[in-house]
Amino acid sequence: MKKNFLGNSGIEVSEIALGCMSLPSDAKKAGIIVDEAIAQGINYFDTADLYNKGKNEEVVGKALKRHRKDIVLATKVGNQWHAQSDEVNWNPTKAYIKEQIHASLKRLQTDYIDLYQLHGGMITDDSEETIEAFEELKKEGLIRAYGISSIRPNVIKRFLANGNIASIMMQYSLLDRRPEELLDRIGQAGKSVVTRGSLAKGLLTGEGLQRAAKMNGYLSYGDLELKTVLENLLAVHDNLHAVALHSVLEHDTISSVVAGASSADQIKATIDAYNTPVSAEQITQAKKLTRQDIYQEHRE
């Protein structure tokens, strides 16, 4: 599998990454999925301290422990969850980040994290304090690089201007092309985008039409319009999954597509789609059939 550099960090990541949020909590079952991902050439694994209140990190840590030197491990911080309730508070402070890194390291059974990401962000945050925390963690050798997971243009522009982030995680798919207005700017700054939601809740897979029939539209697409768009995309290429992946990976700023999987078969399906040829002309046609919306909020 092709690998790309993550911004200017020097870290190389596979073009398909495993988003670990969907991994089963059973360690043996999770291990089978992780082993399949590695066998298929995936070296990049993404989790967060928020997922299942830290238990996902524990599962990931156990599954990846024997592969640690061969993989790129990413997690996220900033959502302060409470063990005894469903309450979650946003906390991007330096003190909290520098405290939580140790909890994540323990759960992940490692002494460093390759990519530590701020799991959100608002324009009212003290971003200088957040950046200072990440920079100190780099100097301490606890992280190799840092990034943000955000779709807010004003937050992204602030971190591009003031921080040495390696990457930005953004929801991006043929059915959600809002990030496109920012991709050139991010790439020109020497940073990468890693994507999530690129299969649009399974709409851009072989089950797309069946899933659409059970949904009342998707984002700015109404119910009927969504079904029509999917049918038209299938006329361009009979493998929606492949078109979805290659259309996102086409832009040089995209380093990796983070795709979830709850079974080894789902990993295989994603890799089969990745290995299915899609022409530049087919990508162009697919984009003509979909809408290029822009973010309406959080712009200034």
The amino acid occupying position 134 is: F
Contact 156, 130 (CB under 8 A): no
pLDDT at 240 over 80: yes
Residues listed for the chain: 300
Exactly one of 44, 51, 172, 221 is catalytic; name it: 51
Q: What is the pLDDT of residue 85?
A: 84
Q: Report residue 84's pLDDT band, with 50, 70 and 90 as the boundaries.
A: confident
Q: Is 51 a catalytic residue?
A: yes
Q: What is the pLDDT of residue 72?
A: 98
Q: What is the pLDDT of residue 86?
A: 85
pLDDT at 52 over 80: no
Average pLDDT score over residue span 28-36: 95
User: How many DSSP H helices and E strands does the chain contain?
Assistant: 11, 12
Q: Report residue 54's pLDDT band, with 50, 70 and 90 as the boundaries.
A: confident
Contact 257, 195 (CB under 8 A): yes
End-to-end, the C-alpha distance of the chain in Å comes to 39
The amino acid occupying position 20 is: C
The domain 3-200+248-278 having CATH identifier 3.30.70.20: the answer here is no
Domain boundaries defined on the chain: 3-200+248-278
Mapped onto helix, strand or coil, the DSSP state of residue 49 is coil
**pTM of the predicted protein model:** 0.95
pLDDT at 81 over 90: no
**pLDDT > 90 in the chain, percent:** 92
